[in-house]
Structure 1
Amino acid sequence: MEKTAFLFDLDGVIFDTEGQYSEFWSRMANEYFPGKGLGDNIKGQTLRQIFDTYFPDDLQAQGMLTNALNDFESRMDYRYVPGVEQFLDELRAGDYPAAIVTSSNRDKMRNVYRAHPEIKSLFTHIFTGEDFTRSKPAPDCYLLGMEVFGTLPERTFIFEDSFNGLQAAKDSGGKVIALATTNSRQDVSPYADLVIDDFVGMSLPLLFQML
C-alpha cells in the first residue's frame, strides 16, 4: 500500500489568525502607508514578498514593519480552527505522517510554541520559510514535504486557505483541500478538490474517497 501524507498551512488552516493579520495590515496601511494598497491585498504573502512589492528600497519602513509585526505576533490569539485538533488526533492514531508547511519564519514559530507547546507533538515535521528558497505561490514547499515523507503527489493531501498557498498546492500536484476561512468558498473552489469551512466532520474515510 502506497504511503499517504498530510501537509497543512499554518495561519487560516491550523490557527484562525488570518482575520487578525488583516486587521494588523489595515491598521499599518491607514496609519503609516495610505495609498500603498496593503490590507487584504497581501494575504498569504511573506514579509519579504511584501517588502519587495511595496517597499523595495525603504529600509526604514521595512525595519518598522518588522518590529511591529514581531510585537503583534507575540501577542496574537493562536486559536485552533474548529475540529482541527480532533482530525490531527485521527491522523496520529492511524500513524499517518503530517507536517506544517508555512512561509512563516522561525521567530514566528517560537511565538506559536509558547502559546501551544503541544503543537510539536501533533506533527511529524514542521517546515518554515527558512527551509525552501522560493515561497508560495511556488510549489517548492509542498514538493519538499512530499520528498521528505516519500509520498507521491496524488497520495498527498494539502490543506490551504490563501490564494498563494492554494496555487502552490495545486501546482505541486497534491490533493488540495481549501479552507474558506480567509476567502469565500466560491473564490477558492477553482484551486481545490474539496472546499471546507473548518475541520468539523472531517475524517480519513471522507478524504480517501478522493484517491
Structure 2
Amino acid sequence: MSPSLVIFDCDGVLVDTERMTNQNMADLVTELGYPITGPECQRRFMGRTLENVKEMVEALIGRELPNDWPDQVRERDLESFKAGVPAISGIEAVLDDLDDRGVPYCVGSSGKYAKMNATLGSSGLLPRLKDRLFSAQDCERGKPAPDVFLLAARTMGHPPETCVVVEDSLPGVRAARAAGMRVFAFVEDPSCDRQAMTDAGGILFEHMADLPDLLFSNS
C-alpha cells in the first residue's frame, strides 16, 4: 500500500551528524572516567533522548550527573555543528520524488528543535521541512516509545497504519512498530545492528536512492 505520510528521523537519515555527535559523547563519557569510543556510543545510545542517555551513563560510571548534563551535551554538539553538517547523500532526490508524487512528509526526532534547526539549517534542508518538525521534547516518552511518531501522524492528519517511518536506529525502528507503522531501516553505516533491526520489524535498505522504489513498490 502506498503511504499517505512519510515520517523521517533526522540524525543519520536526513543529516549526517551521527559520527560527530557520537564522538562528542565518547569524549564526554571518557572524561567522566569510563573510556569509550564513538562507535560504542552509537551502539549503546543511538536513537535515544539525552535524558535517557544520562541515566544510562550514570549506570556506567556509578554516580549521578548534574541535572543539566543533557544540555551540556547539546551545547557541545551545537558548537560542532557550526563547522557544517552535510545532508545525507541522496535525500534531496527522495524528497523531490515525494513532492512529485504529492505524498506529504515530516520529521519525527528524539532531538530537540534547536538541534534540528541547527543541523537542517546547516545542511540546506530546513526550508522544505521547517513547518513539519516533531520532537520528543513535546512527548511524555522518547523512542523506543511511539509517542513522537503518533504525534506527527495525528498533527499531519493521517492514521498510523497508513504512515511509513524511515529510521536508522534500533530504538527508532521499535518506536515505529509500536506506533503501528511500517518502518524502513537505513543501514548504510556498517556499525548498524542489522539483525536486531530486522528482528524488530525493520525493512532494511543501504542506499537512499533505493527508498522511493521501496516505498511505492506495491502501489
Q: TM-score, normalised by structure 1?
A: 0.84
Q: Is the 8 A contact 2:26 2:41 kept in 1?
A: yes
Q: Is the 8 A contact 2:3 2:215 kept in 1?
A: no
Q: Is the 8 A contact 2:3 2:164 kept in 1?
A: no
Q: TM-score, normalised by structure 2?
A: 0.81
Q: Return the match for 1:202 from 188, 192, 211.
A: 211
Distance 1:124 1:177, change over 3 A: farther
Distance 1:11 1:46, change over 3 A: same
Aligned length: 209
Partner of 2:52 in structure 1? 49
Partner of 1:80 in structure 2? 87
Residues 172-196 of structure 1, C-alpha deviations (whole Å, 9 max, x = no match): 1111100113414333222235211
Tell me how far apart the structure 1 counterparts of residues 45 and 214 of structure 2 sit (CA, whole Å).
33
Task: Tell whether 2:164 aligns with 1:147.
Answer: no
Percent identical among aligned pairs is 24
Question: Any unmatched runs of 5+ in structure 1?
Answer: none
User: What is the identity, as a one-letter code, of the residue corresponding to 1:50?
Assistant: V
Q: Decide which moves more: 18-27 or 99-108.
A: 18-27
Question: Any unmatched runs of 5+ in structure 2?
Answer: none
Distance 1:141 1:210, change over 3 A: farther
**1:143 CA drift (Å):** 0.9
Tell me how far apart the structure 1 counterparts of residues 106 and 185 of structure 2 sit (CA, whole Å).
16
RMSD: 2.8
Tell me how far apart the structure 2 counterparts of residues 3 and 163 of structure 1 sit (CA, whole Å).
22
Partner of 1:176 in structure 2? 183
Residue 158 of structure 1 aligns to a residue whose secondary structure is strand
Kindly report which structure 2 residues correspond to 1:159-174, keeping only aligned pairs within 5 A, or say none.
159-174=166-181
Q: Is the 8 A contact 2:15 2:119 kept in 1?
A: no
Tell me how far apart the structure 2 counterparts of residues 48 and 168 of structure 1 sit (CA, whole Å).
17
Partner of 2:113 in structure 1? 106
Q: Return the match for 1:158 from 153, 162, 165.
A: 165
Distance 1:189 1:3, change over 3 A: closer
**1:142 CA drift (Å):** 0.7
Q: Is the 8 A contact 2:13 2:88 kept in 1?
A: yes
Partner of 1:69 in structure 2? 77
